[in-house]
Amino acid sequence: MRIFLDTADIEQIKQGVKLGVISGVTTNPSLVSQAGVTDYESAIKEISTIIPDGPISAEVVVEGVGPMIEQARQIAKWAPNVVIKIPSTAEGLEVISALAKENIKVNCTLCFSVNQALLAALAGAAYISPFVGRLDDIGQDGMQLVEDILDVYDNYEEIDTQVIAASIRHPEHCVRAAMAGAHIATMPLKVIMQMIQHPLTDIGITRFLADFKSVSGK
């Protein structure tokens, strides 16, 4: 499973990249707002240079098929590795299929059902993003949706849409996403740092250093 950073915060992206485990970035209008980004285009261009090989998702912020296609075409010019986020709606399907014909990659976002994921794949989405945490928030098992989408996609070898487990809130989500075989999980830097943490590792390091010092005197 690949790991993407789910943020528009340039400093966090630079910090995360140093870990050597990040291969892409996802953004959305709320993350842009949280990061205080006023120029979305410049931010995406900068992120695209920090991770030149990885897909960088930028979301359309207009409604209507025509305006969404037009904005997606403009965003696609920002950098060669940009992927356009389009919502899981009827209009979104039209946009996805039009963009797929132009070889513009789409990350179909705000996915909350297997049917939405199936339709996005048929329309030609390169990625589907089921929002795990937001389903958990309303009392459902969000990760079950990831598992179900993977099962359905596995039934059809012609489907090559990659599943991005999104709206990841804690390390247990990552474990379940990886066990389910999600292609990608996108998460905040905070969750990646929580993934690496274990108290027994910290205790072990302290003890090893103390034991070595007791015999070496250093």
Contacting ligand E4P (CB under 6 A), which of 6, 54, 87, 119?
6
190 labelled catalytic: no
Judged by beta carbon, residue 26 or residue 71, the one nearer ligand E4P is 26
Contacts of 199 (CB under 8 A, 6+ apart): none
As beta bridge partners, residue 106 has 84
- Rounded Cα distance between 147 and 86, Å, is 22
Residue 32: C-alpha distances to residues 2, 72, 198 (Å): 23, 17, 31
Binding mask 117-156 for ligand E4P (x = CB under 6 A): ------------x-x-xx----------------------
Least distance from ligand E4P to the Cβ atom of residue 210, Å = 41
Residue 134: C-alpha distances to residues 71, 119, 140, 175, 176 (Å): 27, 21, 9, 18, 16
Least distance from ligand E4P to the Cβ atom of residue 144, Å = 16
Instruction: For residue 88, state whether it binds ligand E4P (rule: CB under 6 A).
Output: no
Residue 175: count of CB within 10 angstroms of its CB: 13
Instruction: For residue 116, state whether it binds ligand E4P (rule: CB under 6 A).
Output: no
CA 75 to chain centre: 18
Instruction: For residue 186, state whether it binds ligand E4P (rule: CB under 6 A).
Output: yes
Instruction: For residue 167, state whether it binds ligand E4P (rule: CB under 6 A).
Output: yes
Contacts of 207 (CB under 8 A, 6+ apart): none
- Rounded Cα distance between 37 and 40, Å, is 6
Residues in binding contact with ligand E4P, number by CB under 6 A = 12
Instruction: For residue 48, state whether it binds ligand E4P (rule: CB under 6 A).
Output: no
Cβ-closest residue to ligand E4P?
Answer: 167
Least distance from ligand E4P to the Cβ atom of residue 193, Å = 16
Contacting ligand E4P (CB under 6 A), which of 5, 8, 12, 28?
28
Residue 145 near residue 135 (C-beta atoms within 8 A): yes
Judged by beta carbon, residue 127 or residue 153, the one nearer ligand E4P is 127
Which one of 14, 85, 105, 218 is the catalytic residue? 85
Amino acid at 121: A
Instruction: Pick out residues in 7-26 that bind ligand E4P (CB under 6 A).
Output: 26
- Rounded Cα distance between 64 and 78, Å, is 21
Active-site residue numbers? 85
Residue ranges that bind ligand E4P, judged by CB under 6 A: 6, 26, 28, 30, 109, 129, 131, 133-134, 166-167, 186
